[in-house]
Structure 1
C-alpha cells in the first residue's frame, strides 16, 4: 500500500450530483442495473438523512483514525468522506469533533466501514453518518494510510470523485463517468414506479401488472381451498 495523499481529484458537477441523488438509493440502484450498492451493513446512525456528493476516499489502519485527520484538509463543498480500513474494524473512529470540522468545509456526510460514535450529538447537529457499527471504543493516531486512492467496500470499487448517494436504504456508489446515464435511467425508473403506484392505489394487482399470473402454474404453484389442504 502506498501511503500517499492525492490532492484535487476530479469531481462530478454538483448540480448533476444533486439531480441524481434526488431519486434515492433504491431507485438509482435499480435504474443502473443493480450495481454499486455498498451492502446492508452500512446503516445511518440516525434516520431521515439523504445526501449525495463526491467521494473523498480514506484508507485507515483498524483502530487508527490518523488518516481521517489528514483527509479533512482535502475536503470541500459537496464532498462525502468515505472511509474504510485495511482489515475489519468496529472501533469508533468518527464522531462529533470530526463532524464539526467537516461541516465547516461543506462536507455533506460520512460513510465509514467501521465504527462511529457520539450518535446523539451527530443527530442534534444534523450531520449524516453511515457506519458499519456504533461503538464508544476509541482509536489511536499512529499509522500512515492513504487519501484519495481507490478503495473497496462491500465488494464495490470507490474512486475519489465518484458520486455517493446515501439514505435510509443504505449507500450507493455511482462512477463519475456514469452520472449522466444514471440521471436519465433514474428518471425513467421513477416515472415507471409512479405509474405502478397509481395502478396499485386503484386496485390493480402485481400479479396482473407484472404479467405474473400466467407464470404461476408453470412454477409449480397451485391454488387449493382451505378445507382441501
Structure 2
C-alpha cells in the first residue's frame, strides 16, 4: 500500500448527491439495478439520519486512526468520510472530537467499516454515523495509510467522489459516472411507487397490480379448499 494523500479528486455534484439522499437507500439501490448496497452490518449510530454526499475515502490500519486526522483537511462541505481498514477491525476509530472537526467543515457524516464510539454525543450533536460496530476500544496514531484511493467496505469498492446514500436502511454507493442515470431512474421509481401507494389505499392487490395472478401457475401455486388440504387432515 502506498502511503499517499490524493488531493482534490473529482467529485459528483453535491446537489445531485443531496437529491439522491432525499430518495433514500432502498429507492437508490433499486434504481441503480440492485447494486452498490454495503450490506446489513452497517447500521446508523442513531436513528433518523439521512444523507447523500460525496465520498472522501480513508484507508487505515486496524486500531489506528492516524489517517482520519490527515483526512479531515481533505474534506469540504457536502462530503462524507468513508473509512476502511486494511484488515478486519471493530475498534472505535471515530468519535465526538472527529465529528466536531468534520461538522465545522460542512461534512455530512461518516461511514465506518470498523467501530464508532461516543454514540450519545454524536446523537446530541446530530452528526450522522454508520458503522459495523459500536466499540469504546481506543486507538493509536502510529501507522500511515492512504486517502482518496479506492477502498473496499463490506465487499463494495468505493472511489473518492462517488455518492454515498445512507439512512436507517443502511448505506449504498453510486459511482460518480452513474449519478445522472441513477437520478433519472430514482425519480421514475418514486413516481411508480406513489401510484402503487394510491392503488393499495383503494384496495387493489399486489397480485393484480404487478400482473402476478396470471403467473401463479408458472410458480406452481394452486388453490385448494380447506377440506381437501393436508391441514384439514391433520386436524381431524
**Under TM normalisation by the shorter chain, which class is it?**
over 0.9
**Superposed displacement of residue 127, structure 1:** 0.2
**Superposed displacement of residue 224, structure 1:** 2.1
Mapped to 2, the partners of 1:20 and 1:48 lie a distance apart of 16
Q: What residue is the counterpart of 1:92 in the other structure?
A: 92
- Alignment of 1:16 with 2:16, yes or no, is yes
**Superposed displacement of residue 228, structure 1:** 2.8
Q: What residue is the counterpart of 1:105 in the other structure?
A: 105
Q: Secondary structure at the match of 1:141?
A: coil
Q: Deviations over 1:46-76 (max 9, x none)?
A: 0000001110000001111111111011111
Q: What residue is the counterpart of 2:70 in the other structure?
A: 70
Q: What residue is the counterpart of 1:120 in the other structure?
A: 120
Q: Counterparts in 2 of 1:138-177, with a 5 A limit?
A: 138-177=138-177
Q: Secondary structure at the match of 1:22?
A: helix
User: Could you list the runs of 5+ residues in structure 2 that have no partner in the other structure?
Assistant: 230-236
**Superposed displacement of residue 220, structure 1:** 1.8
**Superposed displacement of residue 133, structure 1:** 0.4
Q: What residue is the counterpart of 1:31 in the other structure?
A: 31
Q: Which moved more, 1:213-222 or 1:92-101?
A: 213-222
Structure 1 runs (4+) deviating above 3 angstroms are none
TM-score by length of 2: 0.95
Q: Secondary structure at the match of 1:211?
A: coil
Higher Cα Rg, which structure: 2
**Superposed displacement of residue 227, structure 1:** 3.3
**Superposed displacement of residue 16, structure 1:** 1.6
Q: Deviations over 1:159-206 (max 9, x none)?
A: 111111100111111111111111111100100110111111111111
User: Could you list the runs of 5+ residues in structure 1 that have no partner in the other structure?
Assistant: none
